[in-house]
Structure 1
Amino acid sequence: MSDPSAAAGVVHALVERKETLATIESLTGGLVAAMLVEVAGASAVYRGGLVVYATELKASLAGVPEDLLDERGPVDPDVALALAEGGRARCGADWGLSTTGVAGPEPQGGKPVGLVYVAVAGPTGSAVRELSLGGGRQAIRSASVTEALRLLTEHL
């Protein structure tokens, strides 16, 4: 289960810093955004987000270079960073937070179920974290949300 306190912590930290956030999600399909907007006051800092489930939308909407996607596929640390950076720019936010990975039930493009990358891009730089998550599809997606919010919290 995703941790609601992680979203509250992010919103409150952003309010204090007077900074904004955009989310760019693949395997989580909008769950990060949903967690954030559950928090009272989120409208002061949350700009919006992109759900780019289809690989081609990662390029056309989030600005991930097509050659990177062609070479490595959508589940890759550099793709996660490009999602965070591109979505941040396209949404006009101080911070971009992205998720990409394989929730299952089957491996994708030679990548195992549970392999997830979360990334953050902001005014102080960017970072990506590789996760190797267990459990079923719902557990992997939920843990991805929590870990993405934790990564952002570490950089705020």
Structure 2
Amino acid sequence: MTLPIRLPSILLLACLAACTATDRGGDPAPGPAADARNAGQPVDAASPASSQGDAPASDGFRARGNEPFWAIDVEGDVLHFVTPEMPEGRTLHGRRIAHAKGVAFSGEDEGRPFNLDITRTACTDSMSGDPFEFTATWDYAGQRMHGCARSSH
């Protein structure tokens, strides 16, 4: 993909990510550019364990990745998944599963399986260098995508 096509996609996702959290009553991210750039590179530092072992106690998360660009806002067991090709997004209902290193949300979207795994492993955005508390892995309809996440509460 050439730069002229990639830049509009980045800007579209940044605008959508900034708008979607506000539309659903969430706090906007630190800035539109940061929302669009959150493709993860795990790093060695780990955050302190929560009261549930290493599982995050939060019910809300913001996960982002790039190459390909995607964003997911999680509130309880509801996930809102957005891509530049799907700017209106999809609202998915997943089952929350706490595990030793984090939390996962699994389900199906019209027969397409999905799983968002958020682990308490520090993550650094591969484009901006911004630090995040969690690493995110998004499996959707047979495609695996990597990124970073933070608690939205």
Using the size of structure 1 for normalisation, the TM-score is 0.30
Higher strand share: 2
Using the size of structure 2 for normalisation, the TM-score is 0.31
